Every structure is written in C-alpha cells, then in structure tokens.
Structure 1
Amino acid sequence: MNTSFPSPTAQLKQWLSRLAAATVKEIFAIQVIAAVLVSVLLSDLAGFDYPGWAALSSYAVMNTSVKASTVRAFNRVTGTVLGGVLALLLSTYLIQDAAFLVLFCTIVGGVAVWRADVSRWSYSWVLGAVTSMMVMAEAQKNSEFRHLLWFTFNRIEEVVLGCAVCIAVTLLFYPVNRRRQAPHQESHSEPPRRPLLPLQAGITLLLVTPILLAFQLTGFWQAMVSVLAVFILPSSAQPVQQQIGQRMQQRLYGCMAATLLSLLLLPFMHSYPPVYIAMLAAGLWLGCHLQQRKQSISYFGRQFTVAWIIVFIQESLWLTEPNQAVMRCVSILIAIITIGIVMAVFRWLKLSV
C-alpha cells in the first residue's frame, strides 16, 4: 500500500494557509504566546534572574506591525538603559536613605508623566522612570555598587532579550500580517496640555512609596508602574477625570480577575512544567482576545494579561508561590486606592485638569 507524505514545502504552505484563515485576534494571541514563552525559556537557559521582565517586555512591545514593534522596542530599551545609568550615578552619592527614595520617586515620577504627556518619546520616559526607581529601591537593600551594577545590567539584559524575541516573532508572522494591516496614519495634532497630571502623579508616589517601604519594598515596581500607567493618558475628547477613573477601574478589575483566577490554579500545578505552560498560554490567549475588543474592555484585557504574566512568571521558572502573587496584587491595590484618594481630594478642592 502506497502512502505519500507531503513535502516540507507543502507542509509549510499548508501551515501558512491555515494562519491566513485565522482572525486578526487569533494571530495576535498566537504571537504573544510564542514571544512570552520563548522569552521565558531563553531567560532561564541564559541564567538571567528576572524572566518575568523579559516576558513583560515581549508582551508590552508586541504589535502585528514590524515597524511598530521595533519602534516600541527601541523606546523600551533606550528608557531602561538611560534610567539605569541615572540611578547608578546617583546611587554612588545617595544610598540607603529612605527619605531620598521617597523624594526621588516623587520627582522622577512627576517628570515622567509631564514629559510623556508632551513628548513623542513617552514610552522611553516611562521605562526610564521605572528602571531608575527600581535601582534606587534596590539600593535600600544592598548599597554595594557592584551589586547595583549587576542588578541594573540584569534588567537591561532581560529587556533586550524580550524585545529581540518580540521582533523576531513579529518578523516570522509578517507574511500573514501584511495582508491585514490597515494603512498607518500619522497624527499631527497638538498634544494636549494637562498640567495637573504630573502634580497628581507626584503626590500619589509621595504617599505610596513610604507604604511600600513599610512593606520592605515588596511589589515595589508593580505599584510604580500602576501609578504611571493610570496618569499617562492618550489624547482623547473625554474629560481627564473620566479617563483616569476608567483606567483605575479597569486596571483594578483586570489585575484582580487575573490574580484570583491564578490563585485558584496555582495550587494544582506543583511546579509541573506542562501544566504550567498550558495555564500560562490559556491566560495569555484570554487576555489578548479581551484586549482586542471594544474600547471599554480593551484596557481591562491588557491589564489582565499584564497581571497574568506578573503572577505566573516569578523569580524562578516553574515557581508557583501564591504568596508572591498576593503581594504583587496588594501593591497594585495600594497604588490604585492612593490614586483614588488623591483624585478625590483634587475634586473636593475643585481643581480639574
């Protein structure tokens, strides 16, 4: 009996035709899953210390357009490097000083929100601020310059790895995506002026940082990112207060949903890689599909995906420690509650952006 097997070329064409028949949402989800898993595995193989940072970098810069992914990756790497260098320079003079850390986060966070609101390099400002805060916070635990240099270099390595994997995956899917991409239209409108946002962000960080110090900086960068993410707003006809309120709610609900769902699943994994990978991929698939729905739920989906990565990908690969997941979620909750208090005070004082 004669059985003929398709040639590798025929199999590749068949695979591409199936991908072409898939929806845009499915293709984007597949890209994200592939990039995150490859980033985590390569980070583990290379012996890096923070695989979650590589995974988040892959997800954060992912786009179906090669150009958009590359530009965003460049911004992320540039911001991380510059923020790390700034913190290293300052840490040689001012270290293990809690008051300075609070002041540093307040000023850097406020400046980042101000520049991100008016600059085309907004993403670089955000990553620069977060990285510099992380290095200065690490100096509270270990002030030795060699340790801080290694910590900063590790962060840069992870970001470069995640961004490189993202671009490689986007290039791999380019033949499928190029038929579906709408022409990109440049926006030449004048950026909005929202002078109170940097002040509100700075005050929020002034209140959040001492709380995190009391918790020995557990979940520090998740809280810092939460504050910046809420206050850095896209151009919109909506009132600023309404935008911030929506972002607060969606970030809170997205993070809570991901955390609660993951806490139900983590005990059943017992550090077993196949189940771990399946659950991680399932959460990424769900988050990516939610992200591509209508605007009212899109930001919720993005926050769900970010929280899913934060909770699942811990310091060691395959580690499924519920306590780490809870503390990371608590830090985000602290940031959101503090933002709510600050915004309520500004409303009470009848100050609006």
Structure 2
Amino acid sequence: MTLVGTLVQTCRAAVSSLGRELLAWKPSRERAMFGTQAMLSVALSVALANALHLSDTWWAAISGFAVMQTSFAGSVQRAVHRMMGTLIGAALGTLVGPWIGDRPWLFVPALGAIGGVAVFYANGTRSAYAWVLGGVTALMVTYEAHGLLSVRSTALFAALRVAEVMVGTLACLLVASVFHFGPKWYGKTRPPSVFATAAESEAPSASTLSPSLESLLPTRRLLCLQGALAIAILGALTYVLHLPGFAQAMVTAIAVLILPASLPAGGAQQPVIEKMVHRVAGCLLAGALGVALLPLMRGQAILCMLALSVGVWTGCHVQTGREGASYVGRQFTIAFIMVFVQDHHWSADPIPALMRLSGILTGIVVLAAVILVTSRLHLPPSLNDANR
C-alpha cells in the first residue's frame, strides 16, 4: 500500500474509532477515577502556577496532566523521568545555546542532532520518557538562546521551564498520593467502601514482550534520521521566518516518532502515521471547541476552570477507552489545556492558543514531508549484524 493510501485508511479508521468510542459512552468506576485525578491535577497545577506568578501556566498544566497514569507507581515513575529529563535538558540547553545561537550553520544542525539523539534513545530504553523530556527541553532552551544571546537570560528561561514542570509534576503526585493512600487509610478506620475497592483493584497491566534492541536497530536509525531532519528544517524555518509555535512544532516532531515497546521490527511507518493522524484530529477538535467556548467564558476564572475541568475529564474518558481512539483523547486533552490555560492569566483571546495549535500542525506537515521522502530508505544494518 502506498503512503497516501495508508494515510487515507488511517484517517478513516481514526474517525470510525472515535465515533465508536463516543457512541459506547460507558463511564466505569476506574475510568471516572482516572479522569477525576487528571482533572484535579491540572486544576491544582494552574492554581499553584498562578500563585507563583509563573510565565507559562499552560506548561505546568500540561505537566500535571501528562504525568498522571492509571496506577500510582506509573505516575511516580513518569514524574521521576519528567523531572530528570527536564533538568538535564535545561542544563544542556543553557550550556550550549548561548554559544551557537548566533551561528545558524552550527545552530540548526545542533537542533537536529539533539532531536535525533532523543528519538533514537527514546525508542530503545526503559527511560524513554526521560529522553523525550530531555530532548524537548534542550531544544526549547537552545532555541530561545539564539534570541537571548546571554548565558544569564538563557539560564533564567531554563529555570522557569524547570519550575513550571516541577509545579505540574508535584501537583500530580500530590493528587495521585491522595487517591492512592487515602482509601487505604480510610479502609483501616472505616468499613470497606467503593473507594477502597477501587484502590485494591488497581494493578499494573501485564507487560508486553518487546523485540530485541538489535532487531529494532534499523527502525530506530530511520526514526532518528526522520526526527533530526524534521527538527533541523523546523529550526531553519523558524530562525529565518520567525514562525510561531516552534516549541509545539518540535514537540510534535519528537512525540509522534516515539513508538510502543511492542512494535515489531520494521513496522514503524503505520504507527507513526496513525499517531500523526490522531494528534491532528485531537488538536483540531479541541481547538474548534475551545475557541468557540473562550468568548463565552469572558476570562472569568471560575467559568474557565469549570470548562477546563470538563474538557480534561472528557479527554481522559476517551483516552482510557478500548475502541482505538485513545491517542485522540490524549491529544484532545493536551490541546484543550493549551487553549484554555494561556500564559499567566485567564483570557478570552484565542490568538495565543491558535498560535500553539498552528505550531502542532506545522510540525505534522514538516514531519509528513520528511517521512514521504525517507519512507523507502533502508539503512544498512550494523557491522555486527552483517557478520552474522
């Protein structure tokens, strides 16, 4: 099947799976609990970020959502990886960015190299999320450094990004801890309840067998090349044309290239296209709904927080469904947060949100072009593989 045919088929499947999920709307106790935890985590992240007067409240809110998992252990592990990756990426960007920011011939390839390395190792290690956050943060700080051209200003920018991630991550851990330990404490002092039953039934899902890293090496190399090229192109375009939403564009380019651990060797194209289609679908739905609701909220904190909470809960419900639209629900939630949680105050102005969404679409378009050009590329195996 051609790449275009695969894309068309994937679009049809995405629409069909989302339709089935919406028609089979069955809130279970577990799904409702997860949505409630994510909703409270995002709300607490926003409240704390506003109280601390952080510049990009939406980044803290996304951290509060992204770290939350269906199990407490999963949330803790993801929190550690997010904080670790963010700290390392911020340090790398602060050290490298100011020295290469005014040298495009060095700056653009460096962005591509950072993105490529992040994609390569994120697809081959258990700490994939740390590699993703490390790469994304390093790219973000390094890119901002080209305009700041000062170690002190770059370090301040990096520190703010770290603070926003820390606030969202800690908010998530606090909420997850309450839902995890609260029912256990309540169960010791009171008769068993619905909440206790839900907590006891929580168990990590069975792990799937993943192929060996050696068999995935050609796929990882191809994804690394595609990520590096896409990031370099985005960096060059933004450097010259000052395109808005670079952060979202390069996050998109990396995120959709991170594949599940159970991926069969040589099967990268279909999952990547599926993630691209689902990301676009979720972002377009959230953008259309969010932009329509913003004027009705009139920047009033209570109304905005209520709409945000409903949107997050709805997205989480779709994300935890079994009809094949999980990634659409996740991307819907992230985009909905981008729309409603703007910089450091509530606002009815849709322009900042639209700029962020345009960055996501730009990242998809550039990555799609790179995939189209490199889809028939077969990278040679390693020397050890060749000798076998």
TM over 0.5: yes
Task: From the superposition, tell whether residues 233 and 295 of structure 1 become closer, same or farther in structure 2 (CA, over 3 Å).
Answer: farther
More off after superposition, 207-216 vs 227-236:
207-216
2:66 aligned with 1:45:
no
2:202 matched to which residue of 1? 181
Decide which of 314, 332, 335 is 2:342's aligned counterpart.
Answer: 314
2:233 aligned with 1:227:
no
Q: Percent identity?
A: 34
How far apart are the structure 2 equivalents of 1:128 and 1:203? 18
| Runs of at least 5 residues in structure 2 that lack an aligned partner in the other structure | 1-26, 184-194, 381-388
How far off its partner does 1:22 sit? 6.2
Task: From the superposition, tell whether residues 352 and 281 of structure 1 become closer, same or farther in structure 2 (CA, over 3 Å).
Answer: farther
Superposed CA deviations along residues 178-219 of structure 1, whole A, max 9, x for unmatched, are 222134445564343322110111111122222223452521
How far apart are the structure 1 equivalents of 2:324 and 2:241? 34
Decide which of 108, 116, 137 is 1:131's aligned counterpart.
Answer: 137
Is the CA contact 2:53–2:344 (under 8 Å) kept in the aligned structure 1? no
How far apart are the structure 2 equivalents of 1:229 and 1:323? 24
User: What SS is found at the alignment partner of 1:231?
Assistant: coil
How far apart are the structure 1 equivalents of 2:350 and 2:98? 36
More off after superposition, 61-70 vs 283-292:
61-70
2:84 aligned with 1:78:
yes
Letter of the structure 2 residue corresponding to residue 268 of structure 1: L
How far apart are the structure 2 equivalents of 1:285 and 1:61? 15
1:113 matched to which residue of 2? 119
How far apart are the structure 2 equivalents of 1:109 and 1:88? 16
Where in structure 2 are the equivalents of 1:1-353 lying within 5 Å?
23-174=29-180, 175=183, 176=195, 177-186=198-207, 189=210, 190-191=212-213, 192-193=216-217, 194=219, 195-237=221-263, 239-294=267-322, 296-347=324-375, 349=376, 351=378
How far off its partner does 1:158 sit? 1.2
How far off its partner does 1:98 sit? 3.4
Is the CA contact 1:116–1:122 (under 8 Å) kept in the aligned structure 2? yes
How far off its partner does 1:26 sit? 0.8
CA RMSD of aligned residues (A): 2.0
Task: From the superposition, tell whether residues 107 and 34 of structure 1 become closer, same or farther in structure 2 (CA, over 3 Å).
Answer: same
Task: From the superposition, tell whether residues 79 and 329 of structure 1 become closer, same or farther in structure 2 (CA, over 3 Å).
Answer: same
How far apart are the structure 1 equivalents of 2:312 and 2:131? 27
Is the CA contact 1:83–1:130 (under 8 Å) kept in the aligned structure 2? yes
User: What SS is found at the alignment partner of 1:293?
Assistant: coil
How far apart are the structure 2 equivalents of 1:283 and 1:90? 39
How far apart are the structure 2 equivalents of 1:254 and 1:173? 28
Task: From the superposition, tell whether residues 298 and 112 of structure 1 become closer, same or farther in structure 2 (CA, over 3 Å).
Answer: same
Task: From the superposition, tell whether residues 98 and 313 of structure 1 become closer, same or farther in structure 2 (CA, over 3 Å).
Answer: farther
Task: From the superposition, tell whether residues 267 and 35 of structure 1 become closer, same or farther in structure 2 (CA, over 3 Å).
Answer: same
User: What SS is found at the alignment partner of 2:100?
Assistant: coil
How far off its partner does 1:101 sit? 3.1
How far apart are the structure 2 equivalents of 1:80 and 1:253? 28
Is the CA contact 1:314–1:320 (under 8 Å) kept in the aligned structure 2? no
How far apart are the structure 2 equivalents of 1:134 and 1:352? 29
1:17 matched to which residue of 2? none
Task: From the superposition, tell whether residues 327 and 92 of structure 1 become closer, same or farther in structure 2 (CA, over 3 Å).
Answer: closer
How far off its partner does 1:91 sit? 2.9
Task: From the superposition, tell whether residues 340 and 57 of structure 1 become closer, same or farther in structure 2 (CA, over 3 Å).
Answer: same
How far apart are the structure 1 equivalents of 2:122 and 2:319? 22
Is the CA contact 1:115–1:122 (under 8 Å) kept in the aligned structure 2? yes
Is the CA contact 2:101–2:143 (under 8 Å) kept in the aligned structure 1? no
How far off its partner does 1:352 sit? 8.2
Task: From the superposition, tell whether residues 264 and 184 of structure 1 become closer, same or farther in structure 2 (CA, over 3 Å).
Answer: closer
Letter of the structure 2 residue corresponding to residue 221 of structure 1: A
How far apart are the structure 2 equivalents of 1:328 and 1:161? 21
Is the CA contact 2:71–2:202 (under 8 Å) kept in the aligned structure 1? yes
How far apart are the structure 1 equivalents of 2:204 and 2:58? 33
How far apart are the structure 2 equivalents of 1:28 and 1:74? 20
Is the CA contact 2:315–2:332 (under 8 Å) kept in the aligned structure 1? yes
Task: From the superposition, tell whether residues 343 and 93 of structure 1 become closer, same or farther in structure 2 (CA, over 3 Å).
Answer: closer
How far off its partner does 1:93 sit? 2.4
Superposed CA deviations along residues 22-52 of structure 1, whole A, max 9, x for unmatched, are 6111111110110101111111111211211
Is the CA contact 1:62–1:166 (under 8 Å) kept in the aligned structure 2? yes
How far apart are the structure 2 equivalents of 1:236 and 1:183? 17
How far apart are the structure 2 equivalents of 1:139 and 1:50? 17
Q: What's the TM-score once normalised by structure 1's chain length?
A: 0.89
Letter of the structure 2 residue corresponding to residue 180 of structure 1: S
